[in-house]
Amino acid sequence: MDAPDFVAEDSVFIARVNVTGVTGFYSADYDIVFNPSVFEVGNVTSGQIDGNLIPVDTWQVIIPGVIRVVQNAEELYGVSGSGYIAELHFHVIGSDSSSSEIDFSDGVFNDINANQIPATWTGKASIGVYESGDANDDGSVNSLDITKLQRIIIGLDNRTPGADANGDGNVNALDITKIELLIMGN
């Protein structure tokens, strides 16, 4: 599973279901388990193994916090290689300091003859939620976050998940401006 370590409140992110060294892949079904008070699934889309599209036939919520994904690469008659078999599109509904693991359950890979392909399902993702602009991670956005952000920018402190207040992937003076706007209610 390939997913970010931290995500902002009310954001959207993608987790990839990675696969390495698969031989003769034809179909799969598996469950994805997560905390439904932190994330909701918006979509599950196709993956790729060595450049070959691995379509998602269907997915559905089994119970809150568990989705089942069914895939079939019938047009390819078996695929070998590495890549990812699906992308899971999550919406963050949890609040600051909440977290969830995203894990596999009851997964099966099959070949074209409906024989199970041996697979080890690994790579559980643990994801924490943060409030954008909460650079000092105290649960609120205020002037203390501006000071923390200044310390991060000049290299005195390590980067925190909430430091990238404007979500552009960088921590710089634009984030100070964004925090000032958040403090003012904008």
pLDDT in tens, 154-180: 999 999 989 999 988 899 999 999 999
Q: Read off the amino acid at residue 58.
A: T
Q: What is the pLDDT of residue 118?
A: 84
Percentage above 70 pLDDT, the chain: 99
The ranges assigned to domains in the chain are 6-129, 133-183
Per DSSP, the three-state class of 50 is coil
Question: Which of the residue ranges 25-34, 87-96, 126-135 would you say has the lowest mean pLDDT?
Answer: 126-135
Between CA 120 and CA 118 the distance in angstroms is 7
The tokens 């650079």 sit on which residue? 135
Query: What CATH number is given for 6-129 in this structure?
Result: 2.60.40.680
Terminal-residue alpha carbon distance, the chain: 36
Q: What is the pLDDT of residue 125?
A: 84
What number is the average pLDDT over the span 83-104? 93
Say if strands 125-130 and 56-63 run parallel, antiparallel, or are unpaired: unpaired
Per DSSP, the three-state class of 49 is strand
Between CA 26 and CA 110 the distance in angstroms is 6
Q: Which residues of 52-85 are buried (b: 16+ CB within 10 A; e: fewer)?
A: eebebeebeeeeebbbbbebbbeebebbeeebbb
Q: Count of CB atoms within 10 A of residue 120's CB?
A: 7
**Is CATH 1.10.1330 the right assignment for the domain spanning 133-183?**
yes
Between CA 182 and CA 142 the distance in angstroms is 8
Percentage above 90 pLDDT, the chain: 73
Retrieve residue 146's tokens: 């501006």
Q: What are phi and psi of 145, to 5 degrees?
A: -70, -30
Q: What is the pLDDT of residue 167?
A: 85
pLDDT in tens, 118-127: 877 777 888 8
